Amino acid sequence: MLKGISPLVSPELLHVLASMGHGDEIVFGDSNFPAASHAQRLLRADGNTITALLDAVLPLFPLDYAVDYTAVLMVYRGETEPKVWGRYREILARYPDGNKEFLTLQKPDFYERAKKAYCVVATTESEGFANIIVRKGVVRL
Protein backbone atom coordinates (compact mmCIF):
# COMPACT_ATOMS: atom_id res chain seq x y z
CA MET A 1 0.00 0.00 0.00
CA LEU A 2 1.17 3.49 -0.83
CA LYS A 3 -0.01 6.86 0.40
CA GLY A 4 -2.20 8.74 -2.02
CA ILE A 5 -2.88 5.74 -4.26
CA SER A 6 -6.25 4.05 -4.12
CA PRO A 7 -6.17 0.43 -2.93
CA LEU A 8 -8.15 -0.37 -6.10
CA VAL A 9 -4.96 0.23 -8.07
CA SER A 10 -3.17 -3.10 -7.76
CA PRO A 11 0.61 -3.31 -8.01
CA GLU A 12 0.18 -4.83 -11.48
CA LEU A 13 -2.10 -2.00 -12.62
CA LEU A 14 0.29 0.59 -11.19
CA HIS A 15 3.13 -1.03 -13.14
CA VAL A 16 1.08 -0.95 -16.36
CA LEU A 17 0.16 2.71 -15.89
CA ALA A 18 3.78 3.64 -15.25
CA SER A 19 5.01 1.60 -18.22
CA MET A 20 2.62 3.14 -20.72
CA GLY A 21 3.88 5.93 -22.95
CA HIS A 22 2.19 8.91 -24.57
CA GLY A 23 -0.50 7.66 -26.93
CA ASP A 24 -0.78 4.18 -25.43
CA GLU A 25 -4.33 3.09 -24.71
CA ILE A 26 -5.85 1.07 -21.90
CA VAL A 27 -9.21 -0.70 -22.08
CA PHE A 28 -11.51 -1.10 -19.10
CA GLY A 29 -13.84 -3.91 -20.09
CA ASP A 30 -17.19 -4.76 -18.56
CA SER A 31 -18.12 -8.26 -17.43
CA ASN A 32 -19.18 -9.27 -20.95
CA PHE A 33 -16.12 -7.95 -22.77
CA PRO A 34 -14.00 -10.77 -24.28
CA ALA A 35 -10.91 -9.55 -22.44
CA ALA A 36 -8.77 -12.70 -22.52
CA SER A 37 -9.10 -13.15 -26.27
CA HIS A 38 -8.48 -9.47 -27.08
CA ALA A 39 -5.66 -8.51 -24.72
CA GLN A 40 -1.96 -8.17 -25.36
CA ARG A 41 -1.70 -7.75 -21.58
CA LEU A 42 -4.59 -8.77 -19.37
CA LEU A 43 -5.22 -7.58 -15.84
CA ARG A 44 -8.14 -8.79 -13.74
CA ALA A 45 -9.93 -6.32 -11.50
CA ASP A 46 -12.71 -8.56 -10.28
CA GLY A 47 -15.14 -6.99 -7.86
CA ASN A 48 -14.60 -3.51 -9.30
CA THR A 49 -16.73 -1.30 -11.48
CA ILE A 50 -15.20 0.73 -14.25
CA THR A 51 -16.30 4.01 -12.66
CA ALA A 52 -14.53 3.10 -9.42
CA LEU A 53 -11.38 2.21 -11.32
CA LEU A 54 -11.47 5.43 -13.34
CA ASP A 55 -11.79 7.38 -10.08
CA ALA A 56 -8.74 5.53 -8.78
CA VAL A 57 -6.62 5.69 -11.95
CA LEU A 58 -7.22 9.16 -13.36
CA PRO A 59 -5.39 11.05 -10.58
CA LEU A 60 -2.30 9.13 -11.73
CA PHE A 61 -2.94 9.08 -15.47
CA PRO A 62 -2.85 12.14 -17.75
CA LEU A 63 -5.38 12.11 -20.57
CA ASP A 64 -4.05 12.79 -24.06
CA TYR A 65 -4.27 16.41 -25.17
CA ALA A 66 -3.28 15.50 -28.74
CA VAL A 67 -6.57 13.90 -29.79
CA ASP A 68 -10.05 15.35 -30.31
CA TYR A 69 -11.79 12.91 -27.95
CA THR A 70 -11.65 12.09 -24.27
CA ALA A 71 -12.32 8.37 -24.51
CA VAL A 72 -13.46 5.67 -26.91
CA LEU A 73 -16.78 3.89 -26.35
CA MET A 74 -18.66 1.13 -28.13
CA VAL A 75 -21.79 2.20 -30.02
CA TYR A 76 -24.88 1.12 -28.09
CA ARG A 77 -28.18 -0.17 -29.34
CA GLY A 78 -31.21 1.61 -28.09
CA GLU A 79 -32.81 4.98 -27.90
CA THR A 80 -31.19 6.20 -24.71
CA GLU A 81 -27.51 6.44 -23.96
CA PRO A 82 -26.22 4.03 -21.29
CA LYS A 83 -26.34 5.70 -17.86
CA VAL A 84 -22.72 4.87 -17.22
CA TRP A 85 -21.67 7.23 -20.02
CA GLY A 86 -22.96 10.18 -18.00
CA ARG A 87 -20.93 9.02 -15.03
CA TYR A 88 -17.87 8.73 -17.28
CA ARG A 89 -18.39 12.33 -18.42
CA GLU A 90 -18.58 13.52 -14.79
CA ILE A 91 -15.42 11.64 -13.78
CA LEU A 92 -13.36 12.53 -16.86
CA ALA A 93 -14.37 16.21 -16.75
CA ARG A 94 -12.48 16.63 -13.47
CA TYR A 95 -9.17 16.18 -15.30
CA PRO A 96 -7.31 18.17 -17.96
CA ASP A 97 -8.40 17.15 -21.48
CA GLY A 98 -11.27 15.17 -20.00
CA ASN A 99 -14.06 17.41 -21.23
CA LYS A 100 -13.94 16.48 -24.93
CA GLU A 101 -16.48 14.41 -26.84
CA PHE A 102 -16.40 10.63 -26.84
CA LEU A 103 -15.30 8.76 -29.94
CA THR A 104 -17.80 5.96 -30.54
CA LEU A 105 -16.98 2.88 -32.60
CA GLN A 106 -19.06 -0.01 -33.86
CA LYS A 107 -18.45 -3.24 -31.94
CA PRO A 108 -16.06 -4.83 -34.51
CA ASP A 109 -14.00 -1.63 -34.72
CA PHE A 110 -13.92 -1.26 -30.93
CA TYR A 111 -12.72 -4.85 -30.60
CA GLU A 112 -9.96 -4.30 -33.17
CA ARG A 113 -8.82 -1.19 -31.35
CA ALA A 114 -8.86 -3.07 -28.04
CA LYS A 115 -6.57 -5.74 -29.51
CA LYS A 116 -3.98 -3.01 -30.17
CA ALA A 117 -4.27 -1.47 -26.70
CA TYR A 118 -1.37 -1.62 -24.28
CA CYS A 119 -3.53 -3.40 -21.72
CA VAL A 120 -7.05 -4.65 -21.10
CA VAL A 121 -8.40 -4.49 -17.56
CA ALA A 122 -11.23 -6.97 -17.05
CA THR A 123 -13.78 -5.82 -14.49
CA THR A 124 -17.05 -7.14 -13.14
CA GLU A 125 -18.93 -4.04 -14.32
CA SER A 126 -22.49 -5.23 -14.97
CA GLU A 127 -23.88 -2.28 -16.90
CA GLY A 128 -24.09 -2.90 -20.64
CA PHE A 129 -21.97 -0.95 -23.13
CA ALA A 130 -19.68 0.19 -20.33
CA ASN A 131 -16.42 -0.68 -22.12
CA ILE A 132 -14.12 2.33 -22.37
CA ILE A 133 -10.70 3.04 -23.80
CA VAL A 134 -8.60 5.92 -22.50
CA ARG A 135 -5.39 7.20 -24.05
CA LYS A 136 -2.39 8.27 -22.02
CA GLY A 137 -1.11 11.79 -22.40
CA VAL A 138 2.12 13.44 -21.42
CA VAL A 139 3.15 13.48 -17.78
CA ARG A 140 3.99 17.06 -16.83
CA LEU A 141 5.76 17.51 -13.53
Cβ-based neighbour number of residue 9 at 10 Å:
19
**Is 55 contained in some domain?**
yes
Task: Assess whether pLDDT exceeds 80 at residue 1.
Answer: no
Structural domain boundaries enclosing 76: 22-135
pLDDT, mean of residues 2-18? 95
**Is 50 contained in some domain?**
yes
Q: What is the CATH number of the domain that holds 130?
A: 3.40.1650.10
Residue 128 contacts residue 80 (beta carbons within 8 Å):
no
* 15 belongs to the catalytic site: no
pLDDT, mean of residues 11-18? 97
pLDDT category of residue 49 using cuts at 50, 70 and 90: very high
Candidates 30, 64, 88, 118; catalytic one: 64
**Is 9 contained in some domain?**
no
Candidates 69, 76, 95, 111; catalytic one: 111
Q: What is the DSSP letter of 94?
A: T
* 38 belongs to the catalytic site: no
State how many domains the chain has: 1
* 97 belongs to the catalytic site: no
